[in-house]
Chains A and B, each alone.
Chain A
């Protein structure tokens, strides 16, 4: 009697369309405060990097490459945040070499985050424009490595056998060697051909070259991920079923297997963007990155600390901590946001895994 009542109750419920996996994921992410905050923070960073530079530039009235010699003192120490400096294009000095103040009446301009170095460029604009360059490099490199890694991973994982051993051995061999040495070698060899490729101020010279090289040397990660996923899926029941009804290999891969790869790759991509930003900093310190005049977060740090061939030690008379703190905080915020985002996406997609 009781059982019967329960059955009718269930039957009486209105039939809803089942929730799709993506809607479910989105709902889980919306419930996760930290991940939501990370997503908003990352969106804010992307917005600032791409639109912030031009907007802030038009407000303060100069660009990230304008130089203000009066923004550094006689010890080459750049001014700190929120300073008004003269726009004079050269430093006046008397016959004894003493520095004179700028001529009366020269207009001044506001450096919101101070100057970047002895050249006296606007640190804030360099931070914003540098963010754009760094993010462009990171995003495009992820795109390139997906473009190479996913097909190779599918080949290795789905077909197995000889293809798999060749691809796997190759990835293992190259992954063992320090990545930065490959990058230095390739950058030095290919700089003449690749570096001039650019697209006005939107894609500065060298950005394409650096991101292409990073992408070409990091495709092992997505390839390994995809291969592992393919190995577990290729004999799954739903794949066998579609094989049985006569679906072609390409259809099985496209319609049934590739959608399964998206979650794992999404989790990887968020971390990879962060890793590529850090990698770009490393490349800047070797001095083979984008052109010196183009700001990136890495080149902002290497303007202060020198390259590995001529490292500079800290000197309180000519250094301000701001030049290190500002780009580092920007990198930190981006990496923390992406890290949390990646964690959150993974938790939302696979709530059963506790890691």
Chain B
């Protein structure tokens, strides 16, 4: 118990470190990269006068000392206040700036993206476990090769293309499901569509798109683990005791694969968010990926609060996800420390985005 606690505390410290590093890195990059935030305040101006620049910087709050800005941001972040974005700011009577707050945007974007990722991940597990087990029992057979080739096709067709094809065929032409958009899960009478049924029918195609990309990875891994495990002594023991093939699989072989799947899930959370950029674009969902791309492009100038918000939220999702995986891992297999995690690296799908 004590060991588990220290392990958890160490993981928590590492997570905090990651978090702070990403925020600091964003600030430092913003200070280093030349960009003129005053153009957000005076979008029509051809040439900004010194007065305009000074006034705009004062209104945006970037004339303060750097340390103060940094500390101020962290202080607000502690209370989940993401501030307001600079893009689209309106100067009223040259005195006050009306800005759009970022919080509400995030509140609508994050659930959409998380829905895609979590539902897609569930679908991946549901499909990958049986196929991987089937394939791993007879490596090199026709069935195994077929499964692997289909899985590779999934990796090689970009999620954007897959998404748009699925949307056109099943959404626009066959009209089996809704062709795009997002409906919130909780019932809301004021919205056009809401509730679990609408939610799922809008998301089923994004889930399939998501699953097709990641299937290859997980099938391959489960297949390898199953093939490895089937030679172990305890499998022979189990068979000798008279356990049926089904029981051997579900009780003795697959739990092993579960551990490695868990490791991999932790590693791929960032990748999954990246993939969501394309899935959201293909299905017209305004989610986190969409917001992130807008922030990173910054056509006028760098929109620091928006970039920071995106970085903070994505890092938070990754960090919390990893913490959960670590905890689960320590719970399932207490002997495993960092040793196993260190050896695994992201695989082919890591390249897709």
Contacts and interface: CB of A to CB of B under 8 A. Distances in A.
Nearest to A231: B342
Interface string B19-35: 00110000000000100
A314 B157 CA distance: 16
Contacts of A278: 155-156, 158, 348, 351-352
Most B CB contacts (10 A, CB to CB) among A188, A221, A314, A328 go to A314
A122 to B, nearest CB: 22
A72 to B, nearest CB: 20
Contacts of A172: 14, 18
A281 to B, nearest CB: 5
Contact of A179 (B21, B158, B274, B284): B274
Contacts of A332: 152-153, 156-157
Contacts of B158: 278, 281-282, 285, 301
A106 interface: no
Given A313-B167, A355-B228, A177 B156 contact: no
Given A177-B314, A308-B277, A313 B352 contact: no
Interface in A62-117: none
Contacts of A272: 351
Main DSSP-derived SS at the B contact region: helix
Interface string A308-349: 110111110000000010001001100110010000000000
A336 B343 CA distance: 24
B156 A180 contact: no
A180 B274 contact: yes
Interface string B205-244: 0000000000000000000100110010000000000000
A176 B316 CA distance: 10
Interface residues of B, number: 57
Interface string A255-295: 00000000000000001101110110110011000000000
Contacts, number: 147
Nearest to B318: A176
A224 interface: yes
Contact of A181 (B18, B161, B296, B343): B296
A228 B343 contact: yes
Given A177-B315, A177-B318, A313-B167, A188 B345 contact: no
For the complex of A and B, list the 5 residue pairs with the smallest distance between their C-beta atoms, beginning with the closest: A275-B351, A178-B274, A308-B281, A314-B168, A332-B156
Interface of A: 169, 172-173, 175-181, 184-185, 188-189, 218, 221, 224-225, 228, 271-272, 274-276, 278-279, 281-282, 285-286, 301, 305, 308-309, 311-315, 324, 328, 331-332, 335-336, 339, 354-355
Interface of B: 14, 17-18, 21-22, 33, 149, 152-153, 155-158, 160-161, 164-165, 167-169, 172, 224, 227-228, 231, 269-271, 273-274, 277-278, 281-282, 284, 292-293, 296-298, 310-311, 314-315, 318-319, 322, 342-343, 345-348, 350-353
